[in-house]
Structure 1
């Protein structure tokens, strides 16, 4: 039986480093094979996952020898951290390793949605040539609002300022005089002010009881007419039905979602057929470069922990 079980995709070089020293079972489809995964965990000491593997009560219970769960990413809402800690299982995310990838995704989305022309392929192919309708807006001089101001939001702010944007941020866990705001030329504000004055809003918060449906119908109504919304944080932070209504009504000019309440998106989703909406499959933090970094960080953590326990 393997020492290490990897349930979702991981960089090959990192896998090879682990295999040199420890028995490893790698199957990037294991997240969809709960019975097989449970059997493999009977003697495993390390479980490495991304965001689809649900590390909760039943899975934790069968992993009697588990000493660590490595998360190939940063969000931990698919892992019952408290239950792991109660059993002495360390939980290690790859903090910081995909910050650049997500920040670039957000900035790309802001520029694309404000300009508006990039969703016109079908019209151009049909010969309608809608130049007047597609006279979009420049990013320079606009205001970006960041809800949450952790490491990824700060990388996003740095890039937005380089494009000539003003940046607002709301983070209830940071005092207004926190040095990160000044360091990134960002003004801390209350959520209501951010919603009212931002041309583009990007979410950078975890999914908690306090943030679930944080962007609901009332919050969307407070946003500037013609504003755009990016969510590369967590599904459930945005009320998808309310967002669909705001886009259909034209109150918002566009939205880009990388995360969803249910993943993969189910048939009959309220987002089907909604205009000016870009959807991607929870990929904002995954680039060739970030996959190498994330995998390397977790491989290092695994090797260090197992070395200490040898």
Structure 2
């Protein structure tokens, strides 16, 4: 939306609260299509809000701008920039689906007196489930096995075609937030030894509950892990955290799983590591960009599993996300304490 000319006076003091029975206006990317809100959620949203699409807003900014009190971000859209914020004098809250907020300029939004909410609790369990699914699939070479089983050229199954044990292996978790901790809970059930590296150490009781050992130095975790799972938020400090040096500290039999953000891992270094046997394999739910260009070298490797950023992609989780966003918007518009508020 860059390049808009502000259609309205940006002074928030001129904003009038909508009267009568009119539902508060909420800006959404679209009501259908691959970048729109979930079609199965539209009726629920319309019980609480008047949904205004970006296309409708662009066609009549003067009339619709003052009606929009919230922005509903689904799948990272619509983008929120200064021009848009200046065009919405009554905006009170930006409600963003998912846990990550790296697509939002939090200080900029806060400077307009606008709150931000997200849905970390709604996505934590399904994302942890996918992390374990990727770990298991990579360890047991599930996709390769599937291709072997269905190939028209297959005449018999090689008895020495093997993967790696999960039970008894060491899992290193980089980022022991809500999602990382849920991965540790699942790993315990698989009888894995769990190591973790985090900005802050968790309570001893929390460590004991999942049998996790804290590694103050990332290097120690890297050298000891059979599986390395990355579950970090993307920040300037975590961008490129797993690079060429870190990959070379890992075991040549190790497998990397990334369920955080693509930019946390140096993709060029990862391609090199996978091509040269520095590590055995990788399983990624996230890349940069998404999707990758169709000629990207990661797409040509056999020792990698790629999924299309589906950590929270279950019917149940997406409904919880929608309900959480509705709760956050309504609380903000009513002046009540806002659940899952993200501070700049």
TM-score by length of 2: 0.81
C-alpha separation in 2, matches of 1:182 and 1:230: 24
User: How far 1:201 sits from its partner (Å)?
Assistant: 0.9
Partner of 2:134: 109
User: How far 1:138 sits from its partner (Å)?
Assistant: 2.0
C-alpha separation in 1, matches of 2:196 and 2:59: 41
| Deviations, residues 74-109 of structure 1 (Å, cap 9, x unaligned) | 100111111111111100001211111111101111
Structure 1 alignment gaps of length 5 or more:
none
Partner of 2:73: 49
Aligned 8 A contact 1:200 1:229 in 2: yes
Aligned 8 A contact 2:57 2:64 in 1: no
C-alpha separation in 1, matches of 2:242 and 2:218: 11
SS in 1 for 2:196: strand
Partner of 2:162: 135
Is structure 2 residue 211 aligned with structure 1 residue 208?
A: no
Partner of 2:182: 155
Is structure 2 residue 80 aligned with structure 1 residue 58?
A: no
Partner of 2:313: 286
What number of residue pairs does the alignment pair up?
A: 303
SS in 2 for 1:74: coil
C-alpha separation in 2, matches of 1:260 and 1:37: 34
TM-score by length of 1: 0.89
Structure 2 alignment gaps of length 5 or more:
1-22, 30-34, 337-344
Q: Select the structure of larger CA radius of gyration.
A: 2
Which deviates more from structure 2 when the two are superposed, residues 88-97 or residues 49-58? Answer: 49-58
SS in 1 for 2:299: coil
Is structure 2 residue 124 aligned with structure 1 residue 99?
A: yes
CA RMSD of superposed structures (Å): 2.5
| Deviations, residues 28-49 of structure 1 (Å, cap 9, x unaligned) | xx6xx79849949723111011
Partner of 1:4: 26
Aligned 8 A contact 2:57 2:65 in 1: no
Q: Residues 76 and 225 (structure 1 numbering): CA distance in 2 closer, same or farther, change over 3 Å?
A: same
1:145 aligned residue (172, 178, 186): 172
Q: Residues 177 and 72 (structure 1 numbering): CA distance in 2 closer, same or farther, change over 3 Å?
A: closer
1:184 aligned residue (186, 204, 210): 210
Partner of 1:74: 99
SS in 2 for 1:131: coil
Partner of 1:165: 192
SS in 2 for 1:120: helix
| Deviations, residues 144-192 of structure 1 (Å, cap 9, x unaligned) | 11001000011110000001111000002x1365543223221001211
C-alpha separation in 2, matches of 1:198 and 1:34: 52
